[in-house]
Amino acid sequence: QVKDNLIEWDKNHFIHPTSSIKEQQEAGPKCIFEEGNGIYLKDIDGKEYIDAMSSLWNVNIGHGRKELAQAAEEQMSKLAFSSAFSTFSHEPAIRLAKKIAGLTPGDLNAVFLTSGGSESNDSAFKLARHYWMISGKPERRKIISRKKAYHGVSAGATSATGIPEFWKMGGMLVPDFLHVETPYEIGTEEAINSIRKMIEQEGPETIAAFLAEPVQGAGGVIIPPDDYFRGVRKLCDEYGILFIADEVITGFGRTGKMFGLEHWDVVPDMMTFAKGVTSGYFPLGGVAVSDSIHDVLKEHSTGTLFHGFTYSGHPAASAVALKNIEIIENEGLVENAQKMGEELLKGFRQIKEQIDIVGDVRSIGLLGAVELVANPDTNKRFTPERKVAAKVIQALHDRGVICRAVTYDSTDIIAFAPPLIITREQVNDLVQTLHDAILEVRKTITI
Ligand code: PLP
């Protein structure tokens, strides 16, 4: 009865984020989750699932960590909320800003806090334009990002996103956003040239910043060639353009380094983060900026930021983030992500040898993908009507594994981002289940 009520109320009253409302109306929620423990989620019927996506690429330390609940409780009992506007401040936000400044590479030493990834990216765009404005170059307003990028759903972030599906609601919402090629199926040279061409075409003096995810997540887990970001950094320096790294997915250990760009020893001018900073236990994000940007903001009397969210530096969210980061560090979760990522990739490669519809497989730390194709030798894709990835996702779901299909541009990509606490046995279990699910679908397919 309770379940029936919940399903009915869900259909009648709950507009789900990123959903087909019609489908959801007809079928109702597929899963009502009730509990989480480690890498597992349990639904209202008591069925257990491996949360192979860390929910939305964010539950890095896994579910059910009481220490985080306790950190929230302690902070909320003492000071649940107060303002950090202007000259007001409070201890958890101060400590968090200092902690993140210490973790981020290079001279990213000052941190602006938000409630999530979209807000962080929009804040970074405004900060970049503000920086140019007070530096006497107000014409530097344009933001270049990449095709297949996902940066969120607020006005700026939607416009920076390079997946056209996300422009269906109202189009690209703000002007001065441009998209270039990403190094997916093309080399570094071609991808870098695409950025150069755009800069030259628009005029370097009009470009505020280049924005990129170190590994594109929602676009299909696209891991760049090793020399790509060094090329990006060089190009941005050549034209005096700010480089903003969107580490919303890749931050806080996901790729086997604390931040994704560390794989290539590249330091951006700004870094946006969210998700793994609290492992989703509280909404929080932010932007870390370099000393040289911070110095300009500090020095100018016109540097006032007319920008801040009510929940910028939320005390309880900050306390939870600090405890989450402590767990990531004390339990060696960055190293575990690196080791278990190698194990996961080994498993993917075995599946590729065993089943003839598996194309490219990849993983960097615990951020991985398996592509399903009609012909792995030529990389010929299935036609979208065959819904191959969706069928594999369903077969996985039936077997108690939750992960995600990426089907933009007629791809059939299965994305994986399990919690960083995953063990070797759990990786093996996940790989075996994936094998069985793909094989089951393979049997229904004629090529
Ligand atoms: N940037 C990246 C790379 C993301 O993957 C996401 C969310 O998935 C966002 C930004 C937006 O974050 P949020 O959903 O917290 O606004």
Q: What is the pLDDT of residues 348-376, one digit of tens each?
A: 999 999 999 999 999 999 999 999 999 99
What pLDDT does 216 receive? 98
The reply to whether the predicted model has a pTM over 0.80 is yes
Regarding the beta carbon of 286 and ligand 1, being less than 6 Å apart is answered no
Contact between 146 and 161 under an 8 Å Cβ cutoff? The reply is no
Regarding the beta carbon of 217 and ligand 1, being less than 6 Å apart is answered yes
Domain spans, the chain = 31-61+332-443, 67-330
Rg (CA), the chain: 22
What pLDDT does 305 receive? 85
E strands, 256-374, are 270-273, 285-290, 358-364, 367-372
Is there a common fold for 31-61+332-443 and 67-330?
Answer: no
Does residue 377 register a pLDDT over 90?
Answer: yes
What pLDDT does 303 receive? 61
Regarding the beta carbon of 118 and ligand 1, being less than 6 Å apart is answered yes
Does residue 13 register a pLDDT over 80?
Answer: yes
**Three-state SS at 234:** helix
Does residue 171 register a pLDDT over 90?
Answer: no
Residue of 59, 121, 151, 154 with the most ligand 1 atoms within 8 Å of its CB, for mutation = 151
d(CA 88, CA 110) in angstroms, rounded, equals 17
Across the range 88-105, mean pLDDT stands at 98
Regarding the beta carbon of 274 and ligand 1, being less than 6 Å apart is answered yes
Atom of ligand 1 nearest to the CA of 117: 12
What confidence category does residue 301 fall into, taking pLDDT thresholds of 50, 70 and 90?
low
Q: Tens digits of per-residue pLDDT, 106-163?
A: 999 999 999 999 999 999 999 999 999 999 999 999 999 999 999 999 999 999 999 9
Does residue 83 register a pLDDT over 90?
Answer: yes
E strands, 206-322, are 207-212, 242-246, 270-273, 285-290
* Residue 197 Cα distances to 128, 145, 190, 426, angstroms: 22, 13, 10, 46
d(CA 147, CA 164) in angstroms, rounded, equals 9
Does residue 229 register a pLDDT over 70?
Answer: yes
Contact between 439 and 87 under an 8 Å Cβ cutoff? The reply is no
Give exposure, 316-341, as e/b (b: 16+ Cβ within 10 Å): bbbbbbbbbbebbeeeebbebbbebb
Contact between 177 and 154 under an 8 Å Cβ cutoff? The reply is no
Regarding the beta carbon of 249 and ligand 1, being less than 6 Å apart is answered yes
What pLDDT does 24 receive? 83
Does residue 302 register a pLDDT over 70?
Answer: no
Regarding the beta carbon of 213 and ligand 1, being less than 6 Å apart is answered yes
What confidence category does residue 256 fall into, taking pLDDT thresholds of 50, 70 and 90?
very high
- Own/partner contacts of 155-160, CB < 8 Å, gap of 24 or more, are 155/122, 156/121, 156/122, 156/125, 156/126, 157/117, 157/118, 157/121, 157/122, 160/121, 160/125, 160/211
E strands, 132-275, are 142-146, 177-180, 207-212, 242-246, 270-273
Does residue 104 register a pLDDT over 70?
Answer: yes
Regarding the beta carbon of 117 and ligand 1, being less than 6 Å apart is answered yes
Regarding the beta carbon of 280 and ligand 1, being less than 6 Å apart is answered no
Instruction: Tell the residue number behind the tokens 């998209």, with chain if given.
Output: 179
Instruction: Tell the residue number behind the tokens 């941005």, with chain if given.
Output: 236
Contact between 131 and 297 under an 8 Å Cβ cutoff? The reply is yes
- CA 88 – ligand 1 centroid, Å: 28
> Can you tell me the ipTM of this complex?
0.99
Which residues are CB-neighbours of 294 under 8 A, at least 6 positions away? Answer: 109, 110
Mean residue pLDDT of the chain comes to 96
Across the range 17-23, mean pLDDT stands at 86
Regarding the beta carbon of 318 and ligand 1, being less than 6 Å apart is answered no
| CATH number for the segment(s) 31-61+332-443 | 3.90.1150.10
Instruction: Tell the residue number behind the tokens 């968090």, with chain if given.
Output: 96
Regarding the beta carbon of 150 and ligand 1, being less than 6 Å apart is answered yes
Contact between 269 and 242 under an 8 Å Cβ cutoff? The reply is yes
What confidence category does residue 22 fall into, taking pLDDT thresholds of 50, 70 and 90?
confident
**Three-state SS at 257:** coil
Across the range 326-335, mean pLDDT stands at 98
User: Which of 53-67, 298-312, 410-424 shows the lowest per-residue confidence on average (mean pLDDT)?
Assistant: 298-312
User: Which residue in 269, 288, 268, 266 sits closest to 277, CA to CA?
Assistant: 288
Query: What's the CA dihedral at 437, 440, 444, 445 to 10 degrees?
Result: 60
What confidence category does residue 169 fall into, taking pLDDT thresholds of 50, 70 and 90?
confident
User: Which residue in 235, 234, 233 sits closest to 200, CA to CA?
Assistant: 235
The closest residue, in CA terms, to atom 7 on ligand 1 is 152
Does residue 93 register a pLDDT over 80?
Answer: yes
Residue of 119, 248, 259 with the most ligand 1 atoms within 8 Å of its CB, for mutation = 248
| CATH number for the segment(s) 67-330 | 3.40.640.10
d(CA 242, CA 356) in angstroms, rounded, equals 44
